[in-house]
Amino acid sequence: MKIRFHKGFTLIELLLVIGIIAILASIVIVAINPTKQLGDARNAQRRSDVNTILNAVYQYAIDNNGTLPGAIPTGTAKQICEAATTGTACTDAPVSGVDLASLVGTYIVGIPEDPQDTTDDTVGYTIIQDANGRVTVAAPGAEQSATISVTR
């Protein structure tokens, strides 16, 4: 009597290997966490934009004997609008914002826009001046509970 043995893998062995690969892949995906990585990248862009806007505001003030551009409010932060790039008025509804069009060209190439800003009227950043004349630019759309704000 001949007994033939087939060389190969059993179904249990294959399922076990596939299960181990799936567990390892899920661990790697959790460790990499692409959502967090993308959020961190957008927050880095927001930090850069906030600094760019604030530097342009202060360069303007230096060149204009301390006069700040636009009507930067005191008390309540206002959105920075896109009047410089879209031609809309900053006082039009639904958003009343601060027009920094005087910065474009000389102090900044264009008003930076938040990476996830979906509105046509604002750029996603706010600006305010305190009682001491210090200007704060902030990114209220920061992700992952980050606070992005620069005051000078």
What's at 122, amino acid-wise?
T
What strands, in cross-sheet order, belong to the sheet with 78-81? 78-81, 122-129, 135-139, 148-151
Residue with tokens 């862009």: 45
Segments forming the whole domain that contains residue 124: 32-151
> What six digits make up the tokens of 73?
């409010």
**Phi, psi of 110, deg, nearest 5:** -160, 160
User: Would 107 be classed as within a structural domain?
Assistant: yes
User: Would 11 be classed as within a structural domain?
Assistant: no
**68-112 tens-digit pLDDT:** 987 888 888 999 987 544 455 565 555 578 888 889 989 999 999
**15-42 tens-digit pLDDT:** 999 999 999 999 988 888 888 889 999 9
Domain tally for the chain? Answer: 1
User: Would 108 be classed as within a structural domain?
Assistant: yes
